[in-house]
Amino acid sequence: MIHSLFLINHTGDIFLEKHWKSVISRGVCDYFLEVKEKAVEPENVPPVLQTPHHYLISIYRDKLFFLSVIQTEVPPLFVIEFLHRVADTFQDYFGECSESIIKDNVVTVYELLEEMLDNGFPLATESNILKEMIKPPTILRSVVNTLTGSSNVGDKLPTGQLSNIPWRRAAVKYTNNEAYFDVIEEIDAILDKSGMTVFAEIQGVIEACTRLSGMPDLTLSFMNPRLLDDVSFHPCVRFKRWESERVLSFIPPDGNFTLMTYHVSSQNLVAIPVYVKQNISFFETGSCGRLDITIGPKQTMGKMVEGLMVTVHMPKAVLSVNLTASQGNYTYDLATKVLVWDIGKLNPQKPPNLRGTLSVQSGAPRPEENPALDIKLKIQQLAISGLKVNRLDMYGEKYKPFKGVKYMTKAGKFQVRT
Amino acid sequence: MTDSKYFTTTKKGEIFELKAELNSDKKEKKKEAVKKVIASMTVGKDVSALFPDVVNCMQTDNLELKKLVYLYLMNYAKSQPDMAIMAVNTFVKDCEDPNPLIRALAVRTMGCIRVDKITEYLCEPLRKCLKDEDPYVRKTAAVCVAKLHDINAQLVEDQGFLDTLKDLISDSNPMVVANAVAALSEIAESHPNSNLMDLNPQTINKLLTALNECTEWGQIFILDCLANYTPRDDRESQSICERVTPRLSHANSAVVLSAVKVLMKFMEMLPKDLDYYGTLLKKLAPPLVTLLSAEPELQYVALRNINLIVQRRPEILKHEMKVFFVKYNDPIYVKLEKLDIMIRLASQANIAQVLAELKEYATEVDVDFVRKAVRAIGRCAIKVEQSAERCVSTLLDLIQTKVNYVVQEAIVVIKDIFRKYPNKYESVIATLCENLDSLDEPEARAAMIWIVGEYAERIDNADELLESFLEGFHDESTQVQLQLLTAIVKLFLKKPTETQELVQQVLSLATQDSDNPDLRDRGYIYWRLLSTDPVAAKEVVLAEKPLISEETDLIEPTLLEELICHIGTLASVYHKPPSAFVEGSRGVQHKRLPGSAGSGESESPDAGSAGGVSEAPPAVIPSQGDLLGDLLNLDLTPPTATGPPPPSSGMQMGAMDLLGGGLDSLMGDESEPPHIPPRTHTPQSPQLPHQSPSPPDYSPTELGGDLGGSPAMGSGFGGPPAAMPASFSAPVSGGLDDLFDLGGGVGMPMGAYSPPKTIWLPAMKAKGLEILGTFARRAGVIQMEMTLTNKAMSVMSDFAIQFNRNSFGLAPAGPLQVLTPLSPNQSIEVALPLNTVGPIMKMEPLNNLQVAVKNNIDVFYFSCQYPISMLFVEDGTMDRQVFLATWKDIPNDNEAQFQIKDCHLNSDAASNKLQGSNIFTIAKRTVEGQDMLYQSIKLTNGIWVLAELKVQAGNPNFMVSLKCRAPEVSQCVFQSYEAVLKN
């Protein structure tokens, strides 16, 4: 099982270590650091590494490496999932996951890690339970603690831990009872030069925020559940009811959680909200090239496209750009060769355009590769797959909660090849 | 105020100041001080000097303070064992605390203190906690057993904690069950043979119930444990699958993948015509696709596993090609894996799409990725014949880009395309030749030279081209040199008049100026071949090459089967069996997929025994450089052999090369041709375990005569021809070295014990066919001797025999020789030679063999037990020193003692008798009238058994002690002792 954990920042300093069995020298990280040096980009460090006596499994998140050391045969996914859970927990407790915030809360971090794993076996990873055992730091609490001498470690057994619903703590009480659901869909797509869709799919997620007293039992139903053939649920969802009735029936955890994720596969037709016309070319002679990009609305279902942004990773040889944007601003980072065009709202009447010249290092050969465009966008009040929530019912409690559903579509990994 | 304040130090000396604070009267100050100590500890500072002061803070009601002190203790107890004893009392007291949280915390922390003295005190509290009323305490205690086992395994066994742990599998609380399973699995990993997880339908049912209710991590443990179970029949298999399927929709990807593993394994048992089978296949695709939308690290592991799954069951993802398309900002490790899977899924239906993608990738920035993309185009051409032309034109387009590494890579793959489709795309040779000068990588140069040599008659200036390479002959890498040598010899055979000078030049370069033995040997072989008989040389060198196989990089089927059982583990990421790399797993159980049952096809013994992998192993193309290495791998490590590495590899290298490798290179091709069916030398001789890739008309003896000279050849083939079968049937593990032990093997006494024939298949059960049989080892060949009697009214014919997988991989080495039909009331004696290269599965009892016999009437099944003594090989004499060392080395746990009663032999007679059955006495000692015989036995699979036989004059009861690294065989070996001595 998981033997040790090292936290390493992106420059390669080990700033925290935790061992759940015997202590392993931090020298073991040298293997990792060596590979990291070679990989150039931190994203390219392979997640599973073999050393003479150990295996190193790592994730890269928020510019930090979470590196775990294992000695026996352990499912790597198990370790990776756990490491992400650790990062999530830090995010949840401290609002961000960075070297400085971890150092600022090192004792809490240590207590958390001890509580999350025992002898390498996960112990408590649900945020609800952890928060009962170790209270998250707040300014108010630290003041109170100093005055009263009380501690931020709970001294009772967390109630949910052994019940059939380990994700929910008991005796929740709110004056305002509310349940909100956000249906967020991301479009992953690759368009080719001519604008044809090479590949497109939708990654959907339903994020929930429930602040409900007692033990509410919720049922969420959809207008068109047939869209959902590939789903993953939070453990609270009763799978049998979904199989038989296609409704989500569950006792929710308290607070924010991901109710389900789903995936509308590439075999269904996926609507692409914008079209992109582009032409990036470099001349055979002379040291320059030309760029011309236009974006216009395609299948927006009558909604406004916002937050439109185009990112281009230019070839290394491109020294500078001289462009005019009909809408929005552009920046070109000379060091990283990244061109960012921030457009904002898409005007359907006047499709925004960016054009101009690129100057290429003189003498350098014509760049071989063509830079791909990375598109970001947002559409409020629309789930592009067409998924719609029908109704939300609550059983088991008497009060009437506030209920709300929001939809949003975003571009995920949306790329246009040139 | 944040915790970073704990890191600030004062000038006075940190330790000194902390000491004062720890001893302060104020609780608050104490706590702050402990926090400072912990903070220093986390960044690797040594604060062990504060041990007594920190331990003093342990007796407190404040839970946070207590936890902090525990954290400290776990870190430093090891370095201060004497001081740590101070803490024991508090632990013991805390284990009685009314608050379950404190009880659990105490037992948990105690387990983490890796100090022997403390573990002794831990036993009593742990025993109580394992039976605690509160499940939270029980589940913590379960993990503690695993911790304790890690520190002191013996103690855990002595105290009976393992049994308590097994009981916890039936606990009412699912979390306790999950933790007990996790702890047992971890313990079992270091005790592969302990049979800790006794899986039966009842426990499986309990596990499945707990599966639905425990946490996600618990589900992983339970699913991984379930995967080790082999269901009794297809119905049980289906019901488990049905209960596991909902896990595919879990948000935790590790749960999903573990569920996939269980389903992939149990699916094997389902009949393919069952509706449920199809449903299950459909259900597997979406979760696998979903894994690919997760974080890149998860994607990577998922992709490595999908790679296995698509090899085993390509139908699952055949419509999902697009999800494997590469995005430009995928990390490189994800890109490379996706590419691999794209090629595996490529088919006629989607090849156009795939090619368009691959061409796109070939213009990306990352060099490794581009190379692999170009290579992938070549693989597509070989895999999908219809696309070959398009692939070639795509490759030509890429060559036109003149990007150096793209060109080189393209040439390497075009060579493979030529091998697959000879005489089809030669028009492109001209374009290739244009790029000759830009090639600077050995592999590309070698490929180009091969092309020039192979098509020398169509390239006008072939001699000039090859000559230009020859100038810098000594600076080239070995693979280029070898290739150049072969190419020029080919050229010479095709255009002898103009190239005489060239060929002489290269032969002298290879044989006189080179110190590379491979090159020199090859040079000499060509030289002699050319000078002795140019016509024969032409036949050999320009022989038609077998086509290369379409799947060049499939994982070998038995390994694939094993890896499918290990989906989701490190083994699946590295595509290696766990035994190959996991440290600490002493001795490894090979997992196998269960065979299918109940379906129509299992009627034929063929499908029954092969368990779904009946397809012949595809040929593998080794890269040119390590042809030798590959030949060795191919020959010496047959799929299922687990024996020790052969001791005299140097010798074998030489011999093998002459046998196979040399000839192969003679043929002037870089690739291992597909296996030529093994030849049999005499009707009786079993199959050659070494599949020699020499051309069919070249028997090894002829070759020996031709080439002579080499000492290895002499000893190998100088023996009488009758000896050949014996040597080749010799055990898998021995490889070629058995060849050299031949002399001993042939001359051995024929006195091996063979039990009398018994009825294996009564006529009642087999529609009139009666089989009596026994096993014998004759001249080193295992034989199954049978008397077939036809007690029916009609004539029987078309006899065939098949074995199920068995413990030692026994398999028929040839067909059942019943040539004439068996008329009613006629009997026939048949001797079937066996080899031990068949598939392996542990049987119960170990020496059980399940046999299917077919005739024109029906298929009959029976099982029989063979005396393990027939697996004792002739070279089982162990050196005395080795014997001593091995005896000491094998743990005492593995020693088994037996008594042989009523045996009226003296020690010498016994020794002689045993020797006849390949049980070799290597030393004898007489102590107080008692003869101690030390004996060694080697099994066909390379397992050594060491024995000590005590014989007391006048006492008919012998004592035998057996020591072996695989103690399972002891019982069988003992039975053989008894049988041999009493007969």
Q: What residues of chain A lie within 8 A of the CB of B286, using their CB? A: 229-230, 263, 265
Q: Which residue has the tokens 């931090």?
A: A26
User: Does A78 lie at the interface with B, CB-CB under 8 angstroms?
Assistant: yes
Query: Mean pLDDT, to the nearest integer, of B946-953?
Result: 84
Q: Do B325 and A198 touch (CB under 8 A)?
A: yes
Sequential DSSP letters for B88-109: HHHHHHHTT-SSHHHHHHHHHH
Interface of A with B in 391-410 (CB under 8 A): none
What whole-number distance in Å separates Cα of residue A246 and Cα of residue A225?
Answer: 6
What is the percent of chain B with per-residue pLDDT over 90, rounded to a whole number?
Answer: 9
> What confidence score (pLDDT) does residue B192 get?
62
How high is the ipTM of this complex? 0.81
> What confidence score (pLDDT) does residue B805 get?
83
Q: Is-contact B380 B358, C-beta < 8 A? A: yes
Half-sphere exposure of B966 (CA within 13 A, CB side): 21
Among the partner-chain residues B68, B146, B257, the one whose CB lies closest to the CB of A77 is B257
Mean pLDDT of all residues belonging to chain B: 77
- Give the count of Cβ contacts less than 8 A between chain A and B: 253
User: Does A62 lie at the interface with B, CB-CB under 8 angstroms?
Assistant: no
pLDDT band, very low/low/confident/very high, at B27 (cuts 50, 70, 90): confident
Q: Do B581 and A166 touch (CB under 8 A)?
A: no
> What confidence score (pLDDT) does residue B739 get?
37
Q: Do B329 and A121 touch (CB under 8 A)?
A: no
Residue B263 has pLDDT above 90, yes or no: yes
In a mutational test of the A interface, the residue from B2, B228, B256 whose CB has the highest number of chain A CBs within 10 Å is B2
Q: Do B186 and A1 touch (CB under 8 A)?
A: yes
Residue B613 has pLDDT above 50, yes or no: no
> What confidence score (pLDDT) does residue B906 get?
81
B746-764 tens-digit pLDDT = 334 445 677 888 888 888 7
Q: What residues of chain B lie within 8 A of the CB of A374, using their CB? A: 329
Nearest chain A alpha carbon to B253: A77
Residue B715 has pLDDT above 80, yes or no: no
> What confidence score (pLDDT) does residue B678 get?
41
In a mutational test of the B interface, the residue from A65, A82, A107 whose CB has the highest number of chain B CBs within 10 Å is A107
Q: What residues of chain B lie within 8 A of the CB of A243, using their CB? A: 246
In a mutational test of the B interface, the residue from A79, A83, A121, A163 whose CB has the highest number of chain B CBs within 10 Å is A121
Among the partner-chain residues A44, A55, A60, the one whose CB lies closest to the CB of B570 is A55
Q: What residues of chain A lie within 8 A of the CB of B189, using their CB? A: 72-73
What whole-number distance in Å separates Cα of residue B906 and Cα of residue B930?
Answer: 11
> What confidence score (pLDDT) does residue B752 get?
67
Q: What residues of chain A lie within 8 A of the CB of B293, using their CB? A: 188, 201, 203, 263
* Three-state SS annotation for B356-395: HHHHHHCCCCCHHHHHHHHHHHHHHHHHCHHHHHHHHHHH
Taken in order B46, B52, B53, B57, the sign of the CA dihedral is positive
B521-553 tens-digit pLDDT = 999 999 888 888 888 888 888 888 777 766 657
pLDDT band, very low/low/confident/very high, at B589 (cuts 50, 70, 90): low
Query: Mean pLDDT, to the nearest integer, of B927-946?
Result: 83
What whole-number distance in Å separates Cα of residue A95 and Cα of residue B706?
Answer: 81
In a mutational test of the A interface, the residue from B181, B570, B579 whose CB has the highest number of chain A CBs within 10 Å is B570
Among the partner-chain residues B140, B323, B584, the one whose CB lies closest to the CB of A72 is B584
> What confidence score (pLDDT) does residue B7 get?
58
CA distance B692 to chain A (A): 36
Q: Which residue has the tokens 């071949």?
A: B529
Burial code (b: 16+ CB inside 10 Å, e: under 16) for B506-543 equals bbebbbeebeeebbebbbbbbbebbeeeeeebbebbeb
Interface of A with B in 322-361 (CB under 8 A): none
Tokens of B192: 């592969």
Nearest chain A alpha carbon to B367: A369
> What confidence score (pLDDT) does residue B3 get?
62
CA distance A95 to chain B (A): 14
B126-162 tens-digit pLDDT = 999 999 888 888 988 999 998 888 888 888 888 888 8
B273-319 tens-digit pLDDT = 888 898 899 889 989 988 888 889 999 999 999 999 999 898 899 88
Nearest chain A alpha carbon to B242: A240
In a mutational test of the A interface, the residue from B27, B297, B369, B565 whose CB has the highest number of chain A CBs within 10 Å is B297
Q: Do A161 and B136 touch (CB under 8 A)?
A: yes
B764-815 tens-digit pLDDT = 777 888 888 888 888 778 888 888 888 877 788 888 888 888 888 888 888 8
pLDDT band, very low/low/confident/very high, at B590 (cuts 50, 70, 90): low
- Regions in chain A scoring below 50 on pLDDT: 160
Q: What residues of chain A lie within 8 A of the CB of B298, using their CB? A: 77, 80-81
> What confidence score (pLDDT) does residue A141 get?
54
Q: Which residue has the tokens 């060091």?
A: A335
Residues shown for chain A = 418
Nearest chain B alpha carbon to A240: B246
Q: Which residue has the tokens 């006529």?
A: B763
Q: How far is CA B861 from CA B609, B805, B849, in A?
A: 12, 14, 11
Among the partner-chain residues B111, B175, B300, the one whose CB lies closest to the CB of A162 is B175
What whole-number distance in Å separates Cα of residue A374 and Cα of residue A389?
Answer: 31
Q: How far is CA A244 from CA A206, B275, B532, B749, B845, in A?
A: 21, 19, 81, 73, 46
Q: Is-contact A377 A341, C-beta < 8 A? A: no
Interface of A with B in 197-256 (CB under 8 A): 198-199, 201, 203, 229-235, 239-240, 242-243
B40-66 tens-digit pLDDT = 877 667 788 888 888 888 777 777 788
Q: What residues of chain A lie within 8 A of the CB of B401, using their CB? A: 368
Interface of A with B in 4-33 (CB under 8 A): 15-23, 26
> What confidence score (pLDDT) does residue B40 get?
81
Residue B733 has pLDDT above 80, yes or no: no
R_g over Cα of chain B: 34
